[in-house]
Chain A
Amino acid sequence: MSAGFAAMDALVAAPLLLPLAVGLLCGLLPQRWVRPASVVGALASLAASVALLAVVVQDGTRSTGFGGWDIPFAIVLVADPLGAAMAVIAALMGAACIAFQCSGVDAAEETPTLHPLLHLLLAGVAGAFLTGDLFNLYVWFELMLVAAVGLFIHQRSRLLQEAGFKYFIVNAFGTLVFLAAIAWVYARTGHLNFAALEVALGALPAHEQLALAAALAIGFLLKAGAFPLFGWLPASYHVLPTPILALFAGLLTKVGVYAILRVWGDVMPGLPLSANEALGWVAVATMVVGVLGAAFHWDMRRILAFHIVSQIGYILLAIALGAGEGHAAATFYTLHHIIVKANLFLIAALMVRAGGDWDLRNAGGLWKSHPWLGLLFLVPALSLVGIPPLSGFWAKLLVVREAFASGHAAWAAAALLVGFLTLYSMMKIWMEGFWKPRPAAAATPAAEPTLPPLALATCTALAALTVAIGLAPDGLFRLAQAAAAAMGGTP
């Protein structure tokens, strides 16, 4: 084995080994070194995953097996364009949320376990994106679950404990269902490796493939927050401190979506079309229910939490549209959406710091005191709606165009209608939070509150990425197409 080969193996494993190592380090270092180590570690894993993506885009899919076994018997990490791009975006979110945490706006209490848990969560997410093995996907899911529950309860608070318990019970049930599905898949095929499963599952009769795909999807859909399994999400997310909330909102549900895309799109490309039809209607229900929930609420965190559900529907719809263009649209949508969603939560926290309130009925008048914050909010908000020239426009265009092209006009109509309702709900936040005069009953802020420059810089950088993707979408689009082409079942 040459030295160059070993370096490549290390690069494939780096996006998940680095957060693991940094997490351990943060647990061992004295308190005053934890923050610098955490920030440097997050930037290092971002650099490593960008390097991996560059190599993968240049030279194609990279994989590495552990323990000197041959594939498919070794436990493998596979970095294809989809997995590597998701790892980059996960590391980016990690860096942004840790920066926001350091700025101190609505920050989590800096307990000794905070930074280790954050990096453990990032390691779990990166592991799920890079693994090439069904059982290891389960292990990474469990790691994410433990880290997420840890982040709920690391600071003693009644509300956080309650939310953590709700989150835990439902999500642990989801992973158990996934484990049962793995047992079934293994009993029928004798494989767990994705590449080997693709061959072995393809040889099974169609009805059995459908049953296995459905069994696997239940756990994933629960994790993704799809209709009707999304109840845990708006019941728990909104009490989290903002940096953790943005990290969860950006990444955790998308891991479930990614798992569906990977298993249905890549591992089971020969799945009968009825599976896609069913997923499409689940996606439509998810979109509609999510956006209606958002329209009902007045607490910004709840509104945005319901929008997570709604947007998950769009991504699932893109997956349901099938190999090729559908998968490319799903990849594009996921990558753009993670940035936008996390940024919305971060900017909402800035609005509260600037003198607003989480509850919109008690907020107002921010346009007078912080006009640039109003403009900053509009970037991710309008991108979420899908207004050109922001990134969300291209993402929605890809989904709706493919829905029409494949003859699913009803799905396209639902997607467009939900877009209008999303606009209503985003404008509700903007009109109530920024435009309307400050209600007399609300307490006036003591002095003109200053916003920490680090927090503003983080939000501005994420908004700039959204604008950049919107103005020059072809780079990301080509990446999404390469990701779709590297998956199985591409026509």
Chain B
Amino acid sequence: MSWLLLLGVASLTSSGIYLLLSRDLLRSVIGLTLLGTAINLVLFTSGRIGPVQPPIVPDGLAALADAANPLPQALVLTAIVIGFALACLALVLAVALREDEGTDRVDALRGTEPGEGEDGKPLPMPMPEDGEAPR
């Protein structure tokens, strides 16, 4: 069981980071989600990987022999909900960016960077486009 989890965490982490580093909007969002899943699994295993034994301490005993700690499971639940919300937000943002930019290449996102002028100094920021609130 622990080997299976280890393999799962390793493959999710590596594929998550690989996708996160790619120069594609949607891929990087998916990579972030995969990485989040891997870390949720790590959090899950931090409470021991136990069998189906309920985590109830019998009278007179101080510790549990072979039940899992339920607290990390509650933590994972919280982290999953937050991660899901963040993934939704990121997907909406990525789709909106792709619509506005007409491309899903991350390299094309240079609007907030100043260009370089002939004297080597940064160019002034572009003025906001029409239809935006006056700045």
Contacts and interface: CB of A to CB of B under 8 A. Distances in A.
Contacts of A163: 112
A184 interface: yes
Interface in A179-219: 179-180, 182-184, 186-187, 190
Contacts of B32: 169, 172-173, 176
A231 to B, nearest CB: 11
B128 A157 contact: yes
B89 A299 contact: no
Nearest to B40: A179
Contacts of B35: 173, 176
A176 B38 CA distance: 10
Nearest to A237: B112
Counting chain B CB atoms within 10 Å of each CB, the highest count among A155, A163, A169 belongs to: A169
A113 B109 CA distance: 26
A137 interface: no
Contacts of A183: 39, 42-43, 45-46, 72
B96 A135 contact: no
Contacts of B133: 108-109, 155, 157, 241
A299 B94 contact: no
B82 interface: yes
B125 A299 contact: yes
B82 A162 contact: no
A441 to B, nearest CB: 12
A121 to B, nearest CB: 14
A421 interface: no
Contact of B109 (A155, A166, A296): A166
A172 B90 contact: yes
Given A162-B109, A172-B86, A149 B93 contact: yes
Given A146-B85, A302-B114, A161 B43 contact: no
Interface string A135-175: 10011001001100110010111110111111011001100
A33 B32 CA distance: 39
A180 B112 contact: no
B54 to A, nearest CB: 19
Question: Which of B72, B79, B94, B129 has the most chain A CB atoms closer than 10 A to its own CB?
Answer: B79
A179 B90 contact: no
B71 to A, nearest CB: 8
B124 A359 contact: yes
25 contacts: A106-B135, A109-B133, A142-B82, A146-B89, A157-B128, A158-B101, A159-B111, A165-B94, A169-B20, A176-B39, A179-B39, A179-B43, A182-B43, A183-B43, A184-B42, A186-B43, A186-B72, A187-B46, A235-B112, A238-B112, A238-B125, A239-B125, A241-B135, A302-B114, A358-B124
Interface of A: 106, 108-109, 135, 138-139, 142, 145-146, 149-150, 153, 155-159, 161-166, 168-169, 172-173, 176, 179-180, 182-184, 186-187, 190, 235-236, 238-239, 241, 296-299, 302, 357-359, 361-362
Interface of B: 20, 25, 28-29, 32, 35-36, 39, 42-43, 45-47, 69, 71-72, 75, 78-79, 82, 85-86, 89-90, 93-94, 96-97, 100-101, 109, 111-114, 121-122, 124-125, 128-129, 132-133, 135
